[in-house]
Amino acid sequence: MRIAILSDFHLGYERFRADAYSQAEEAMRKASEMSDMIIIPGDIFDSRIPKPDVIAEAITLFRNLSGKEWKAKVTGFIGDGRNYSNVPVIAIPGTHERRAQDAADPVDILGLAGLLVDVSNATAVVELDGERVAVRGMGGIADDRFKEVVSEANPGPVSGAFNIFVFHESLYELLPFNSKFMKFDELPEGFDLYVNGHIHSRFEADVHGKKLLIPGSTVITQLKPSDQGRKGFFVFDTKSGKYEFIEINSRRFVISEVDLQKCAPESYGDALSHAVDEAIGGKPDIPIVRLVVPGNFAHAENFEFEISTIPKKYAGRAIVEVARSLVNGKLLDTPMNSVTGAFGNMSVKDYGMGVLADKVKMHGVVFDAFGAIDLFELLGLDEPRERVVELALEKMFG
């Protein structure tokens, strides 16, 4: 069977919302044309509670697949939840969709509508011409609990099938700043292919002698050097074990370093404009251009004026962001870069949950089945404060 592996659409991502939808649509359309089944390892949505119009986008996206006559069919479903479709489009929730225990997430909604098969903690068996592929998913689990949950669940392969383990987690080998992150050799054994989301750049590795494939996101969100490559998805052939990466028409992203220390203050604008013009390169598209301005230099007023006008000057030709450095000995940056620097590679939500968990543990509270994410989500409910506190205490202490 040919299996398309797509991830991290981030539908509803406000900064590049049109890109998120159009690039996911192209990826899904190409994937359906080139494969017998589709696997999506999380973060279809950018928010755990997406707006109705974003849900409508997702429904449209998945309904567009209904025009294909899928020969492969889902013939078995084992585990938590229920399945309402035999169409071989299989998904799990990711970190952005993760909600408190027992609360429905947006991937649940798509599953209930019969638009995909949600294997958050289940196995779906797909059959085609006598071949069986079993997809075991584990989604919507906090990084710091993933090892524990995997150990308790002890997921294993289905006899007589090509077995795939699908998850959405940080991995220590890729993000080595937290010892709680799962390591390659700690992933469950016995599977023929490992598929992960969460990491926004393409990655391949070997795990227990088998392939681990991470397709990366279909939309740019982090503006890191690794985002400069083309976006796309993998297509894996179960019979040959071979795979290929299929590119989509994702927006170009260019990082350009601009040295202003040799420039006179009145030339700052010209130097920045030259860098943007080179990044655009006469091409008809509208790229994202990130200007990195290193060094410690004076004339902050000139600098501040020029970087405030550059994005407006190129409106309609490029999306320009300036990553500032030192001006008069003081560290400056855009608000987004300041946040990124403070939280490292973690999302703001994950950082917040980590802080909450540490604070609670300082007061002697030990999480069991109810974890930090559940408390975090409860405290964010749109309910009266007294009711929220009552629910939180009930969950924590019975």
Beta bridge partners of 91: 40, 118
**pTM exceeds cut of 0.85:** no
Q: Which domains does the chain have, with CATH numbers?
A: 2-247 (3.60.21.10), 253-335 (no CATH), 348-397 (no CATH)
Q: Which residues of 347-385 are buried (b: 16+ CB within 10 A; e: fewer)?
A: eebbeebbeebeeeeeeeeebeebbbbbbbbbeeeeeee
Cβ atoms of 297 and 260 within 8 Å: the answer is yes
Angstrom CA distances, 131 to 83, 128, 211, stand at 21, 5, 20
Q: What is the CA radius of gyration of the chain?
A: 23
pLDDT per residue rounded down to tens, the chain (398 residues): 999 999 999 999 998 999 999 999 999 999 999 999 999 999 999 998 899 999 999 999 999 886 788 999 999 999 988 999 999 999 999 988 887 666 788 999 999 999 999 999 999 999 999 999 999 999 988 888 899 999 999 999 999 999 999 999 999 999 888 888 999 999 999 999 999 999 999 999 999 999 999 999 999 988 888 888 889 999 999 999 999 999 999 999 999 988 887 788 888 889 999 999 999 998 999 999 999 887 665 556 667 777 788 989 999 999 998 876 544 444 444 444 444 444 444 455 556 666 666 666 666 665 544 566 566 666 666 567 777 677 777 766 65
Beta bridge partners of 39: 5, 90
